[in-house]
Structure 1
Amino acid sequence: MIPRLHLTILLHPQESRIGDRVALPEGPSEISRRTPDFHKPTQVLGKPLGLPCISRKPFFLIPRAREGVLVKRDEHGTKLRVNGVSLKQELFVDMTALSRGVVITLAEHLVLLLHFSDLGAVPRDLPDFGLVGFADEVVRIRHEIQQVADLDVPVLIRGETGVGKELVAQAIHQHGHRSRRPFITVNLGALPSTLAAAELFGAKRGSFTGATQDRSGYFVAADSGVLFLDEIGEAPEEVQAMLLRALETLEVTPLGGQRPVSVDVRVLAATDADLERDIQQQRFKAPLLHRLSGFELLIPPLRERPEDLGLLFTHFSRGVERELGIVPARDSKDPFALPRLPVALMERFVANRWSGNIRQFRNLVRRLHISNRGREVLEETPQISRLLDAEINALPLAAPPSVDVAAKGAKDAAAPKRKPRSIEENELLRAMEDASWEPKVAAEILGISRASVYDLIRRGGTLRVANDFSEEELRAAHQRCNGNAAEMSRQLKVSVVALTRRLRGMGLE
């Protein structure tokens, strides 16, 4: 299915509306209090935004083929912010920004996310398996869990730390035919290498110093059930060989023992490591990877599913409220009520890298509620600000700041084309700085073509384009700026889009 643009409600005064979405047509869309209808991903019928603070005068989303979307509002319509920038008249959002998701804030009451999705209607009978959200990749994982849960094949669950790999393993167990049998979890990263074999396969009394009695080991404990090997990439080399043999023969031999013990175990494994690279560096055995990956599940990082942030926030908030004994908030009947979470915080949530993924987000939601006990509105405390600032500062921009045509003034927008030779280098420099070093935007400011801007850059001696920098210069700047493409753009005075393209080609992005 070809991805289509969607709008998803991230924040709404009525919590029950969070997560509602609408697929946009290929042509222009108008968004107002009365249109379009937003619905649950599992439903067909929905209803409009409906808030009286949202104007009946629509704002428009106008696609430009393979380029992006023009966001345009009436000067008397709803006040908008697009990715945190107040919109006066119109603003162009390019494909790079759309691919990441663009935040549209309406009248300080509502937050929408404009994003691509190839998701059609989600079957109502598809279990959620404990996974919150309806991002494309989350729905895909649900389908894959449904396909593999009732089988006995080994499953390798891959994804960054904190994405919820153990939750997926539990879902596979709970929906399989071994659901009433043991589910044993072993974190191989936490096992001392000297004891890992004994813990996994068992040991006879006296087989090593400290073995004062027989122990059965995790494989035997999981007999007839499921053994979940977390952090499989941390398994010591000698244990990898023993694991491979156990998986191939369905037998384990305790340390110090002479007779193998038969086991009937389904093995699930998880890792955030690049096992293929570890194989090349001879830190992981290729046959073990092949044996473990009878089926693979790839769990996406949180930053790749921003459309789920509203649902996740609501889900974790309810858990914290139960934990703290707080009476949960209900959908307000006041049509002018503000959402409990300030819209600016949701904007920051979307901008965050979330290097710790779901685990980090859940912990932040808990801190936010604890810091605001007794308050009706969840205010951003200094502690929360520090946590968010640390992540946002490390986040390269997915697209340059879009330019609000009206903000530049009608005189600039309607300025006649100039002769490039009339523009001196200091004027070019000022225009490029005002345009955040984007030649296309600088061309609009100067009233010349983009090609003329590139010609002026090449003729002058102050500015360069991204392709003019050597790899050594870019690597040094990348290290100096801690990988922050936006900061690199400011220091090098070059387009962040072109810079990101160069970094990606160098394997740095």
Structure 2
Amino acid sequence: MQASPVCGCIVLRSTGRSSICPAGRGPTSLGLCRRGILVGPGRSRRELVERRLARLAGFAGRPYAAPMRPGRDEEKTLKSVGGGHHHVSLPFPVLTIACHPDPERVGDRRPLVVDGDGRTLVSRSEGTFAAPEGGRDEPLGDRRISRRPLTLMATESGAVEVVTDPEGTPVRARGEPIDGSRLFSPTEVMQGVDLELGSRVVLLLHSLTIETFGHSPTGLGLVGQSGAMTLLRRRIIRVARRDVTVLLRGESGTGKELVAQALHSLSSRADQPFVSVNMAAVPESTAASALFGHAKGSFTGAATASEGYFGAAHGGTLFLDEIGEAPIEIQVALLRALESGEVQPVGEARPRKVDVRLIAATDADLERAIDQGRFRRGLFERLRGYQLEIAPLRDRSEDIGLLLLHFLTRELAAADYPARLVLPAEDQHPWLPAWLVAAVLRYRWPGNVRELRNLASQLVIDWGDGAEIPADGGVESLFEVNAKTAPAIERQPPAPAVRELSEEAIMAALKESQWRPAPAATALGISRSSLYAIIQKSPTIPKASALDRQAIEQALAASDGDVDAAAGELQVSERALKLRMGELEIG
């Protein structure tokens, strides 16, 4: 990795060619900088960024917005190439490691090439995956993964074609083997596609946006690096020190209390109490006393006075979960407490001042409850000083591998089996099998993170004392019910099988198209990726990547330095020859 000498942007993928930094202000190498901007060779500073991101915008079917300058508000709207103003949000395909014999690699990722020939190669030694926090940028490296690459082709429509090598590592996508190639639609890529390589590695093909790919906040007690989690952390940081009421909305099991704790820990009240209350568990008959306190003897059983939850949280944060379950009478008192900063303890003559920051959470449809008269609109609006949406687990599938590893690590340590997730010897299988992680990725998780945590606990209880989790142990039955009920997913028809083509016909088509694969593939009636696969497997069809310095220099000398003529002599495309010349630092 290297940094632009001008703006400090870190380049994650480099081909050695000269370019400019994502801020448009200096030279750097071709790649994707840590700010998430794809960079490459350009004729002018502004032209480079606009050309590359305009291609991404076309690929994503979304408006392009010019990249931000360092230090400017990340949400500032900027003028797009086509006119108008839009937020910067350009999805592009990414591969994330969801399972690997070395647990440290889980979460590493690499963007797919979405311009030029659109090819991304992944093998044991090709295609580096970088840790989002930096410090590592390496290929898969597992010795049981073939050196023959898996090829991924990102199309302009947003689809991705996966092409396997017949002599390479077997690949399964969504549990089904890929024989030759398979095309995944833009919708499938957005939802996430699990790719199981052999029985060792699982990659998740998914998409991210420009602003959530690069460096982002971590920690806060939250696990995950998806776009949804990145934006959630940023919003938590933004609102934590503002003493406003926050309403957390999300399905059951998404971790709303963890978000509330993160808000408290970053606030000016961090050294004061954090009190958590589940309103669904508070009986209606005692709700007022539980929340606001009571005087001694104010009702039967009140042998001592109580300060209530508001009093216990004085100076700190009060978290009211399941706020939609609050009785209507209590809602009136809550609204008064929020507006006046006072509570009325049961049995006391005067109200009591309280200094509490309130965070509420719900998975209920409060708007519908308001229409039905079950929730007061005034309280709803008062709670919505700031609203945070927490995405369900099925919408952030790239976090599942990290979350599973997190819960397994914790459960194995508690059961005194910490070595189960250590990198195994080459002749051993990992304790956590790839097929299981692939199945976990395909599951819809109606119980969200809580359900995933329960699965990790079950795995450790049943198989923590074994060398590996067995394939016939019944674990996969957890996912069979979901497979029957999962909603239909938009599918692209499979790529047509490559008909029998002689090398003579292929060479003739390549020659006719000046050795450019794309028009040659069209002439042959096959996909571009299929032609690439044929070229890679053929020992006789010339490949620019196999050319050495001497052969290129001889061809250039014979053509008086004309690169186009030299490419024709070498039987490769002009573009491929220029790339190879750049790699060898020729001319």
On whether the aligned pair clears a TM of 0.5, the verdict is yes
Name the structure 2 match of 1:334.
Answer: 425
Q: How does 1:493-504 map to 2 (within 5 A)?
A: none
Extract unaligned runs of 5+ from structure 1.
Answer: 412-443, 445-509
1:12 corresponds to 2:100 = yes
What is the CA-CA distance between 1:129 and the residue it aligns to?
A: 0.4
Letter in 2 for 1:53: R
Residue 54 of structure 2 corresponds to none
- Matched ranges for 1:426-465 at <5 A: none
- In structure 2, what is the Cα distance between the partners aligned to 1:45 and 1:201? 52
2:416 matched to 1:325? Answer: yes
| Contact 1:13–1:337 (Cα < 8 Å) also in 2 | no
Greater Cα shift, 54-63 or 203-212 = 203-212
User: Does structure 1 residue 284 correspond to structure 2 residue 378?
Assistant: no
Matches within 5 A, 1:364-403: 364-379=455-470, 384-400=475-491, 403=494
Match of 2:452 in 1: 361
Do the aligned residues in 2 keep the contact of 1:55 with 1:78 (CA within 8 Å)? yes
My pick for the range that moved more, 322-331 or 218-227, is 322-331
**2:226 alignment counterpart:** 135
Partner residue, 2:400: 309
2:215 corresponds to which of 114, 117, 122:
122
Deviation at 1:386, TM superposition (A): 3.6
- AA paired with 2:401? G
Q: What do the CA deviations read for 1:3-55 (whole angstroms, capped 9, x no partner)?
A: 11000000001111111000111122222222211011121750111222222
SS at match of 1:384: coil
> What residue number does 2:237 align with?
146
Matched with 1:104 is 195
Q: 1:243 Cα deviation (Å)? A: 0.1
Hey, what does 1:350 align to over in structure 2?
441
Distance 1:175 1:391, change over 3 A: same
Whether the 8 Å contact between 2:275 and 2:312 is mirrored in structure 1 is: yes
Q: Distance in 2 between matches of 1:122 and 1:236?
A: 44
- Superposition RMSD in Å: 2.0
Partners of 1:20 and 1:67 in 2: how far apart?
Answer: 22
SS in 2 for 1:140: helix
| Change beyond 3 A, Cα 1:335–1:46 | farther
Give the whole-Å Cα distance in 1 for the aligned partners of 2:339 and 2:443: 44
TM-score, with structure 1 as normaliser: 0.76
Structure of larger gyration radius: 2
Work out whether residues 247 and 385 of structure 2, in 8 Å CA contact, stay in contact via their aligned partners in 1: yes
Q: Compare 11-20 and 141-150 and name the one that shifted more.
A: 141-150
| Separation (CA, whole Å) in 1 of partners of 2:327 and 2:144 | 60
Q: CA deviation at 1:329?
A: 3.4
Deviations 1:321-344 (A, max 9, x none): 121111333543634543322222
- State whether structure 2 residue 345 is matched by structure 1 residue 254: yes
Cα separation, 2, equivalents of 1:385 and 1:90: 26
* Whole-Å separation in 1 of the counterparts to 2:136 and 2:476: 39
Larger mean CA deviation between 126-135 and 326-335 belongs to: 326-335
- SS, match of residue 213 in structure 1: coil
% same residue: 40
Could you tell me how far apart the structure 2 residues matched to 1:55 and 1:410 are?
26
Return closer, same or farther for 1:381/1:284 CA change in 2, 3 Å cut-off.
Answer: farther
Q: 1: distance between equivalents of 2:335 and 2:141?
A: 59
The 8 Å contact of residues 33 and 50 in structure 1, kept in 2 or not, is answered as yes
The Cα offsets for residues 465-503 of structure 1, whole Å up to 9 and x where unpaired, read as xxxxxxxxxxxxxxxxxxxxxxxxxxxxxxxxxxxxxxx
SS across alignment from 2:270: coil
| Structure 1 residue 62 displacement after superposition | 1.4
Please say if 1:31 is aligned against 2:122.
yes
How far 1:256 moved relative to its partner? 2.4
**Per-residue Cα deviation, 1:95-131 (whole angstroms, up to 9, x for no partner):** 22111101111122110000000123224xx341011
Aligned to 1:235: 326
CA distance in 2, matches of 1:333, 1:322: 17
Give, in whole Å, the separation in 1 of the partners of 2:301 and 2:485: 47
SS at match of 1:270: strand
